[in-house]
Amino acid sequence: MVELKKVSRSFTEGNTKHAVLKNFDLKIEKGEIIILLGKSGSGKSTLLNIISGIDIPDEGEVTIAGKDITKLSEKDRTLVRRNKIGFIFQFFNLIPTLTVRENLQLPLELTNSDNQEERINTILSEVGLPERADSYPDKLSGGEQQRIAVARALIHNPDIILADEPTGNLDYETGLQIVDLLDRVVKQKGKTMIMVTHSKDVMGLADRVYSLREGKLTETKKDSVIE
């Protein structure tokens, strides 16, 4: 489903070049849930950006559903992202000028999906917020906003979900609700998910856990992290 081969990415700051990702490979099968751990600045978000086509590596191949997206134009990479990927952000990033229903409608419109109303109602029920359909994001609590963000990432039925610290901006209880939600709506639907997180509570979802350190990816035992 997702395959990275010999991927390297570095950034220049002043005269110094920082290698964030160094020549690494990663293969994720359909339906797998991968968790990425690492310190701030270790390159976790860069890796998500590269997988989503937001950023391109200096070297290497990134294959999504059989296509090397590094060879695609910026527009085509965006279309891959639009159709194949759902994004969940730490700071929710709902569109403040759209109601909850309209926020959910946006990915459906972008992908020209059918039965939009029905799908919105279904997913709102799934995330437990059918009554907030006509509210604007600023009227929702942080947890509610993130549930809508999860719904938005899933509504157009993408194959891959990329989640960047989805519980990082929530309190413990609310974070657990989001983990539970991800378990129900992502894992059980057989979606591939790559999640960057520091939260140990999410580890239960993972098929594999990786640590990113000094540009290298190393697989970590799930149990050792939870303990």
Partner 1 sequence: MNSLNKSSIRYLLKHPWQFGLSVLGIAMGVAIVVSIDIASYSSSKAFNLSLDAVAGKATHQITGNSDGIPDSFYRSLRKDKGIRNIAPVIESYVSIQDSGRRVFKLLGVDFFAERPFRDYFSETDSSAGDVFNKLFTKPNSIILSGENMKKLNLSPGDSVKVLINGKEKYLYIAGFIKENDNNRSALENLFITDIASAQELTEKKNNIDYIDVIINNESEEKIINSLLPDGFALQKSGSRSQTAEQMLDAFNINLTSLSLLALIVGLFLIYNTMTFSVIQRRILIGTLRSIGVTSGEISRLILKESLIIGIAGTIAGFAAAYFISKYLLIIISRTINDLYYVVSVREIYISPFIIIKGISLGVIATLLSALKPAKEASGVHPRSAMIRSEQESSIIKKIPRMTIAGILFIIAGAVTLIIPSKNIWLSYFGILPVITGFSLLTPLVIIIVEKIFSPVYKKLFGITGKMSSRSILQNISRTYIAIAALSLAVAATVGVGTMVSSFRSTVIDWLETRLNADVFISAPSLISRRNDAVLNEEILDKIKAIEEVKDYNFYREVEIFQDGKRYHLLASGLSKRSYKGFKFKEGNPEDAWKSFEEGEIFVSEPFAYRNDLSVGSKLVLKTDKGMREFRVAGVYYDYASDQGLITIQYRHFKEYWNAKGYSGISVFVKDDKAIGTVKDRIQSLDTGGQQLVVRTYKFLRDSSVEIFDRTFLVANVLQILSVIVAFIGILSSLMSLQLERKRELGILRANGLLPSQLFLMVNLQTLLMGLIAGLTALPLGNILAAILIYIINKRSFGWTMQFEILPGILAEALLLSLAAALLAGIYPAYKMSKTSPANALREE
For binding to partner 1 (CB under 8 A), which residues are involved? Answer: 45, 49, 52, 54-55, 74-75, 78-79, 81-83, 85-87, 89, 91, 93-98, 102-103, 105-107, 109-111, 138, 152-153
Shortest Cβ distance from residue 89 to partner 1 (Å)?
Answer: 7
Shortest Cβ distance from residue 225 to partner 1 (Å)?
Answer: 26
CB nearer to partner 1: pick between 24 and 92 = 92
Q: What distances in angstroms separate CA 102 from CA 7, 109, 152, 159, one per listed residue?
A: 37, 10, 10, 22
Shortest Cβ distance from residue 157 to partner 1 (Å)?
Answer: 13
CA distance 133 to 148: 10
CB 100 within 8 A of CB 140: yes
CB nearer to partner 1: pick between 101 and 222 = 101
CB nearer to partner 1: pick between 162 and 203 = 162
CB nearer to partner 1: pick between 10 and 49 = 49
Which residue's structure tokens are 């989503």?
Answer: 52
Shortest Cβ distance from residue 61 to partner 1 (Å)?
Answer: 21
Q: What distances in angstroms separate CA 49 from CA 10, 123, 219, one per listed residue?
A: 13, 26, 20
Shortest Cβ distance from residue 150 to partner 1 (Å)?
Answer: 13
CB nearer to partner 1: pick between 7 and 85 = 85
Give the contacts of 52 (CB within 8 A, at least 6 positions apart).
81, 85, 87, 162
Give the contacts of 79 (CB within 8 A, at least 6 positions apart).
none
